[in-house]
Amino acid sequence: MSRERVTCAAHGCERTVQRGQLMCKGHWFSLPKAMRDDVWRTWRTCQRHWRGRTDHAQQLREVREYRDAVRHAVDYLDGVPPTPAAAMETVAIGEDGSPVRYGQGRML
């Protein structure tokens, strides 16, 4: 049994993403942080109240909020190039409280 290939939700992007991911890393980090946070928040709310844990009307409202957040994010990306991998860094906080920078999986 083969699984269907899942691609990035950005228009025209054919990058394969893992199941459960909305976009490729480049497009995801091209979104403003507030927009990423909104998509993530609405997704988590839907997951928390999934399968009968809340009434049907509430579930529909939450799904609509998530769908609207995704639509807004995808529309925002029209004409915006994906962020190059070299520009992506992660800042972690070390045990001593100082920032520790990572880029492409390596400590900088």
88 in any annotated domain: yes
Per-residue DSSP letter, 50:
T
17 in any annotated domain: no
5 in any annotated domain: no
Structure confidence by residue, pLDDT tens digits, 9-51: 999 999 999 988 999 989 998 999 999 999 999 999 888 877 6
Structure confidence by residue, pLDDT tens digits, 60-72: 899 999 999 999 9
The model's pTM? 0.71
8 in any annotated domain: no
Contact 22, 9 (CB under 8 A): yes
In terms of residue numbers, what domain contains 42? 25-107
Number of structural domains in the chain: 1
User: Measured between alpha carbons, how far is residue 106 from residues 43, 79, 91 in Å?
Assistant: 30, 31, 11
87 in any annotated domain: yes
15 in any annotated domain: no
User: Binning pLDDT at 50, 70 and 90, where does residue 105 land?
Assistant: low
d(CA 44, CA 39): 9
* Tokens found for residue 10: 């950005």
54 in any annotated domain: yes
Q: What is the pLDDT of residue 1?
A: 43
